Chains A and B, each alone.
Chain A
């Protein structure tokens, strides 16, 4: 059973690999596209060098740091906006205007206010992760039926305790959806921002391009894909553990 499932799940990956291999087998069909074998060789080379792992580490750390800050800011803000009409009116319009601006579009503006490239990248990832977490928190809070906070108040919970023990856990499934989305977008923006800066995996990809080391472009791309996938998988696993009541069997 588990084996068959694994096989199904790898089908799409194998298909991508097959299309790629076929496209490069006919020389000239797609000029200059490195073949899977070339990329594999380049990967072995890269894996042997410390600079590749340095970029991987740098990018991963950036994503996780900015993601953590976004989580810590967006969840409390979302709880307040979702719960208080006044607070929502005071803050939400400004946030709604900022939201459609693609994080990468902040790059020039952040440069002219003299942030360092590293801080710009951090800020851009923060922005990318912030909005999905915020919006999903708000939605989750508004989805908590009023009966539960009422019941909590009747049992003597203070407004803060009601938030902590009732509203937050009630909104948690939606918050986790936001976190998983945010993690994906964080990686997307990381690469975009790093293409314009001078370190990290985005820079690795861009550098390979300008230096004409085409297989390394693909090595960088795959690295981003795998790291992004791994981060989301990690979050899903943590999420399932933090929301045990949803997986509790319906007896």
Chain B
């Protein structure tokens, strides 16, 4: 049975995604367009006995493109190798028809059979707009359907229109009767003749002409690949010649399209004077210098509070479930390497994945809520000035801010940044923002070096140091953004042209849908890799398994268990367990590796025990705390205070303290810069679509970490600190 492919085309705020969700329910598959990290959603459904595949194209104001991501729409529409599209469903906001019809005109020019779907009809009615559907159908020459997707209104009519269009054999729409300047026609003819098979294999007529128009508007200071240089040169010379004759070709084409739209709307639309009073009233408050800034800060504070504290109960439920599963495994299986692999490798790995979900779900919900209400555009509007100072777009603010909680959801949330270069830039700098996993590391070291009460200039030394860490982290993230923008991700800064859509009440189903999609994207893209690496890390930290020593400890433990004095008994058992953990770790691959890298990290003020901690932190930075607990003999489950006490009293082989003030600060600086967290690295790999960017991030962050720590330690020593 034939499957008809329907492309959903529309402006970013046309309600396209709501309609897609409404038509497809939960059947959508989410993937990426080949080669580019732009989400592609598609679903198969049945309409009136006809099997159709709906493809949700990225929201766009126009088909013209300056980058490969923007080119997706025209590529999919003109695609003539199977599976090629059969029908375009163009969604337009009925309250802003002039602008939204512009996109439709471009689609009609290609000759692809189309249906116009006027969305937000409820709002149009409320504004007193009168749209004459019959006249619109007649002048456009295609079926026009009115809906209100948020209320599910008009859905049946839309399905019928799709079905009958297919049954009628998908009639090709009439060519938009644009009045083109003769000079423009000639230029387009010459461009059309020069289009070769590499851009558009075997398709003639309308599609070729549409492509010529597309080239005229798109080529020039663009970042499109695959456009043959001869064609580029031709477009440029046509433009130049026409300009010398006093005609701007791009302007001539665009105004011809708008002229046709104006003619149609003069007959089909009875417009009242435009004012969306509700939106204007809300905006007067939400973009007000004082109230707007306060509202903005309140929203961001709420986000912060939720990411740090709000999700905590759910995280602790997940952690409890993981540890219950681990105890259960230890209970039903005999002690040995197998049970350790299952419990501390596989189960811990799955836990490492699940533990991110509450933050991811919350952040996706929050962002989708802001996006759907229209406030996200205002956030960018309010903060763009500040972000612009370091070469970033206002849209980058929330992902960067979320980085303070955790880089993983923050990187996932960069999907709201449209421009690929901007998105990469934000992705690569987010991990420098001090996330919540660094906090336990900072606190551990500060607790060892400066017990509460230590003061400098009358200020609490620990607090001062912690503040310094966060300030340094913000500065380094901004600095890295600046450097990346100016050296690696150079290029024209995309113009900040943002539509400020009317405020609307969001549709809950839509929000939940986004939460589900993002969470699933994380689990399916990153989940298996995170679990696998956790297992590998477990193996590094626990193998080789020394059966003889394990038996020895089992025997000693059995002996200890029969000691009659309960105090002595538990004391002895604790000691044995601590010693076993310490010995296991020191003789493990990671332990040996830590000793091997000691010469490398000694200039930073670290010994091999800290080396093991750094290696183990690849699982997550806070693992440093428990790892140091084990190697300094405080046991696996020790409280931070015990660990701090142990480390404070410990000496290195040469008799110096295990962690001097200077090497402690050096360690904090190292953690501030280093790219250690595997989940972050995996996220950057998945979301950027290549290992290149992930490795680049690891390389630049770790070089910065090494150099910064070296500077702190060696510089400090030169200044006479210890």
Whether A and B are associated in the same complex: the answer reads: no
